[in-house]
Structure 1
Amino acid sequence: MQFSVLASGSTGNAIYVESEEYSFLVDAGLSGKQMEALFEQVNRKMNKLTGILVTHEHSDHIKGVGIIARKYKLPIYANEKTWNAMSSHIGEIPLEQRFHFGMETVKTFGNLSIESFGVSHDAAEPMFYIFHEGDKKLVLITDTGYVSDRMKGIISNADSYVFESNHDVQMLRMGRYPWNTKRRILSDVGHVSNEDAAIAMSEVIGNRTKHIYLAHLSQDNNMKELARMSVAQTLESKGIVLNEQVSLKDTDPKMPTILTTI
């Protein structure tokens, strides 16, 4: 199994995951043209995709979903409430390309199993995905106001994580956002801070965990170096040895990560 975080941040999100036989795009929060350019950078073709998995209906996750699905005749997978919420934003999708992926269910494609799980975010029914192939496990979790014990149990001891580390609390509180926006981000249905993300990470990292990609960083209220430093300090305070045990990786709103093999 291989994956690349094609883009991650406030301006658009997309993750590519492939097994030997199947490949999926999780969200497409950039324009079709931008998405094609990102695929070229990781030497992959959109017309080879098995389908698109949607996490929730916010524009930074679905901006390119409709145009990509129509152009390449790709199946789209989402739960019923997300379909209802996003349909008017992604345009007409032929019935044969519309698939239902229920909350906390598993779909199997050959040796690849994809498990959905709910998160806490201000969307219709937001959910993220875990990819299983053999004994390998990749967890994608962003856009959640907190990480519950239920979520921790589901996502524990993965080989790799793409994990939200959205904001630095002090930067957010002192920043230019209006108070109602700050309150939303800080709420249980907003986004997790660097510190809260790191505490959750410390509780789910297992003996097989190798990589954590810090994702969905706020353009205004975080920086890569700050996120990495904050998460590293918390993990090390919990006795987790970085680089020997697990490595922290950056993501970018415009540049894909290299294809990582699990």
Structure 2
Amino acid sequence: MSLRFSVLASGSTGNAIYIETPKQRLLVDAGLTGKKLVESLTEIGVNPSDLDGILVSHEHSDHIKGVGILSRRFHVPIYANEKTWQAMERSIGKISPDHKFHFESDKLRTFEDLDVSSFRVSHDAADPMFFSFMHEGRKLTVLTDTGYVSDHMMGAAEDSNVLLMESNHDVGMLRMGSYPWSTKRRILSDEGHVSNEDAGLALIDMTKNRKMDVYLSHLSLNNNVKEIATMTVQQTLQGAGIDVVNQVRLFDTDPYVPTTLKTV
């Protein structure tokens, strides 16, 4: 067994990603109810009591809803940066001091046989960050909840074998949708979410001259559908001469159904 993962849930209703190596079992965020998280982990054959930690990207409810519940029920340590701890502490309830750890942005931390590097993203949260996971020459990067993809973020994701990439909304659907303009402006801003089009453009630079599996993530329930996200990103990559069959493979994620546990 090497580096393996499952996207337990991805979308505006909740986000959680499971990462494992022979010696570590981690979650990136736990934005579902405790019951749903247990069900999803069980579905992929993982016992929640075997979790070694939860890495928290930022304090929005779709990323922390089940963090406190899992920590208390299964004695799971929580890792977040200082500003995120301050922002989420009231929302997740009382946490044992033995289970509270700091993991600051732009740092590398080793969990047994798994190296994890954190990097800042641009989102309307206290100090949002995401992570790259490295084990025995294989690398997986999670890059969602950002209004744009900077050179720094691209550098963090460099040489990834698997990339979980935000493809949040179709701009036309968002503009014509029922959201108030203040919400639309927030989503479209540099501290909002990456659109399908911008995801494709970012992937042109991130996938040049290398093979990569890309999981389109954090799709909006109201302003996107899987088929449009995939088609838009695919057409953008093909327009740049990137082979979307043999070089870059695109996969869906779902807000309710975990992906199969796969090896990176």
Corresponding residue number in structure 2 for 1:38: 40
- For residue 45 of structure 2, give the secondary structure of its aligned residue in structure 1: coil
Deviation at 1:209, TM superposition (A): 3.1
Contact 1:158 1:205 in 2 (8 A): no
Normalized against structure 2, the TM-score is what? Answer: 0.98
Corresponding residue number in structure 1 for 2:63: 61
- Once the two structures are superposed, the pairs formed by residues 189-228 of structure 1 within 5 Å of their partners are 189-228=191-230
- Once the two structures are superposed, the pairs formed by residues 86-235 of structure 1 within 5 Å of their partners are 86-235=88-237
CA distance in 1, matches of 2:135, 2:195: 30
Contact 1:158 1:208 in 2 (8 A): no
Write the deviation string for residues 44-83 of structure 1: whole angstroms up to 9, x where unpaired: 1111111000000000000000011000001000000000
Write the deviation string for residues 75-124 of structure 1: whole angstroms up to 9, x where unpaired: 00000000000000000001110000011001102221000000000000
The residue identity in structure 2 corresponding to 1:95 is P
CA distance in 2, matches of 1:208, 1:27: 28
Task: Go from structure 1 to structure 2 and tell me whether the alpha carbon gap of 1:134 and 1:208 turns closer, same or farther (over 3 Å shift).
Answer: farther
Q: What percent identity do the matched residue pairs reach?
A: 56
CA distance in 2, matches of 1:67, 1:153: 34
- Work out which of the residue numbers 243, 246, 258 in structure 1 matches 2:245: 243
- Once the two structures are superposed, the pairs formed by residues 20-31 of structure 1 within 5 Å of their partners are 20-31=22-33
The residue identity in structure 2 corresponding to 1:239 is G
CA distance in 2, matches of 1:23, 1:54: 14
Contact 1:75 1:99 in 2 (8 A): yes
- Work out which of the residue numbers 234, 255, 258 in structure 2 matches 1:256: 258
Corresponding residue number in structure 2 for 1:77: 79
Contact 1:76 1:98 in 2 (8 A): yes
Deviation at 1:210, TM superposition (A): 2.9
Deviates more, 1:179-188 or 1:150-159: 150-159
CA distance in 1, matches of 2:138, 2:238: 25
Contact 1:158 1:206 in 2 (8 A): no
- For residue 222 of structure 1, give the secondary structure of its aligned residue in structure 2: coil
CA distance in 1, matches of 2:95, 2:130: 22
5+ unaligned residues in a row in structure 2: which ranges? none
Write the deviation string for residues 179-213 of structure 1: whole angstroms up to 9, x where unpaired: 00000000000000001011111111154433100
CA distance in 2, matches of 1:101, 1:162: 21
Write the deviation string for residues 231-252 of structure 1: whole angstroms up to 9, x where unpaired: 0000111111012112100000
Contact 1:39 1:45 in 2 (8 A): yes
Task: Go from structure 1 to structure 2 and tell me whether the alpha carbon gap of 1:206 and 1:21 turns closer, same or farther (over 3 Å shift).
Answer: farther
CA RMSD of aligned residues (A): 0.8
- For residue 39 of structure 1, give the secondary structure of its aligned residue in structure 2: helix
CA distance in 2, matches of 1:154, 1:29: 24
Contact 2:167 2:219 in 1 (8 A): yes
5+ unaligned residues in a row in structure 1: which ranges? none
Normalized against structure 1, the TM-score is what? Answer: 0.98
The residue identity in structure 1 corresponding to 2:113 is N
Deviation at 1:157, TM superposition (A): 2.3
